[in-house]
Structure 1
């Protein structure tokens, strides 16, 4: 590990990015236990200061993937919703109700997040799923169309690195790499970035991976969720080709002034239940937009417009709510009647 630390830790003028092979070797040193905690922390901080290259990120994604368990989903055509593991501080976790809408339609969806990590330490997707009473882990409940997994429960290396990351308290290359190791064996991916400057790098990274079709979103909180208070740019990756698309909620009749908002866990649950039950809610359009975009991504809709209309029908017909209720493992968390929400 000393070799790689010398290269990336030489300071502003002397540090260089590692080649793919060098970065893969460094990643294996970390994952195979040949690096000390001090060396791992120093390496991650040096990479943060230098700025991770595309080859370095790709090497860490592939090294982490080489330590994967077998794919966790048996279904074909799985959509992996790869959101940030440090939670939400400025937005609704629209990926959860959107996943219910898609799985109600028949698209197998895979969500994953551990207990919340630095730097944001927001409301974790795991806590939202738990509070809603949805199943956690790989079960045969109903079908495999909705799966949520805590990656630290199935990937030993991610669990082992938590302590170091907690102590560092800042974003590192692991925040990007961990989302893309494809625990589910998914064919489709939607993931997010925080800054527009990261869009190109992450899109090129995803293009080198094995997904059939993928979308990179500059989402609120750096999440995979499209905003509804502004237009946004997404990239669509297919066959190694990256294309840009501008998504304007206003042109779709979904514009809203809901921007950055801080929600409690209870509020995440309340809004999710209201939207899925067909009630009017200030975040309804956000779920319609994101579910519609994911139906388009997975080729269940020929266009974004068609995807949004399909999502609207799934919710308004009661299919989403019926499916959600069938998944909930704690009936006491459900309202007694749909109209009580």
Structure 2
């Protein structure tokens, strides 16, 4: 069956397009991920959604369909943190691995998922982890082994969800990102984990806030650093903590205001080897952790503690 009826709804331009229901979005994305569409239809979908923008209900349907193809991962035994890393470093060093390593050092199981290589040449988290002796995990058992060793686990999207990886792979052909990239950044790949959801454009903050609310998510929403789920080392962004879909104002952090009076110590370059060498210095205590990342670390630890408290209270009430 053709997806033309869906394209007719979503392809009428920014002002004329109509949104899909969650069920329709689920069906549409299922057809795409199952490979039941032509290349022409796939391109039409990607461009139509790029112009229209996804509604929270559509995002929920897309995620529902995508989770059906996602690799089952082991239970970490503790509340984990999920870091989607799909942008990499362009002008600033990619410090997502630093955040992951700091969390792991505090006993938090961390799963980072993303691209192994970026077609535009950005420096991926995978490249930096590999320089640190933590190459991408080839399977779920290796993820469990990394957690058991107190290390963060990076898994490639090709391993985590191959159909989604194929959808992301059309970006170089079209020259534009598509709905698959948004889905990847909000994917609850490890059920129950605290997701760090980042956005690059203000309009996404609105739709993602509603999505996290509607789906009763456990997450931290923030503006990413060049699209990465880590605080800008120069200035702390706003961090909104969601507990079961409700914003926890006490655990959330306001953005840093005012004029910067001091710049952080950063790697001399953004390449993987230089970044990894700097991260070793930071972890050894010979270079400071940038203050915004230290704040993000504390925010995530507080959000995890609050989440554990909520789960304990729920278990107690059931008992």
Deviations 1:213-269 (A, max 9, x none): 310111221322122433422211112212564435689xx9743599972222211
Please report the TM-score for the alignment, with normalisation by the length of structure 1.
0.77
Shift of 1:74: 3.5
Distance in 2 between residues matched to 1:194 and 1:10, nearest whole Å: 25
User: Secondary structure of 1:220's partner?
Assistant: coil
Shift of 1:123: 0.9
In structure 1, which of residues 174, 186, 202 is the aligned counterpart of residue 180 of structure 2? Answer: 174
User: Secondary structure of 1:221's partner?
Assistant: coil
Change (3 A) 1:150 1:255: farther
In structure 2, which of residues 171, 196, 221 is the aligned counterpart of residue 190 of structure 1? Answer: 196
Distance in 2 between residues matched to 1:13 and 1:162, nearest whole Å: 26
Please report the TM-score for the alignment, with normalisation by the length of structure 2.
0.82
When structure 1 is superposed on structure 2, of 239-248 and 55-64 the one drifting more is 239-248
Alpha carbon RMSD of aligned pairs, Å? 2.9
Structure 1: segments with no counterpart, 5+ residues: 302-341
Partner of 2:8: 6
Aligned 8 A contact 2:115 2:157 in 1: yes
Counterparts of residues 133-282 of structure 1 (less than 5 Å): 133-137=133-137, 138=140, 139=142, 140-141=145-146, 143=148, 145=150, 146-209=152-215, 211=217, 213-243=218-248, 245-247=252-254, 256-258=262-264, 263-281=270-288
Aligned 8 A contact 1:61 1:177 in 2: yes
Distance in 2 between residues matched to 1:218 and 1:134, nearest whole Å: 27
Distance in 2 between residues matched to 1:12 and 1:201, nearest whole Å: 15
Change (3 A) 1:117 1:206: farther
Structure 2: segments with no counterpart, 5+ residues: 308-319
Distance in 1 between residues matched to 2:266 and 2:133, nearest whole Å: 26
Change (3 A) 1:78 1:45: same
Partner of 2:30: 28
Deviations 1:75-122 (A, max 9, x none): 331111123x1322133322212222221221111111122446x652
Shift of 1:182: 2.3
Distance in 1 between residues matched to 2:287 and 2:87, nearest whole Å: 29
Distance in 2 between residues matched to 1:4 and 1:136, nearest whole Å: 37
Distance in 2 between residues matched to 1:243 and 1:197, nearest whole Å: 21
Distance in 2 between residues matched to 1:93 and 1:12, nearest whole Å: 33
Deviations 1:263-297 (A, max 9, x none): 2222211221111110125x643442332222222
User: Secondary structure of 1:298's partner?
Assistant: helix
User: Secondary structure of 1:46's partner?
Assistant: helix
Distance in 1 between residues matched to 2:224 and 2:8, nearest whole Å: 36
User: Secondary structure of 2:241's partner?
Assistant: strand
Aligned 8 A contact 2:91 2:270 in 1: yes
2:124 is the counterpart of 1:124: yes
Aligned 8 A contact 1:195 1:222 in 2: no
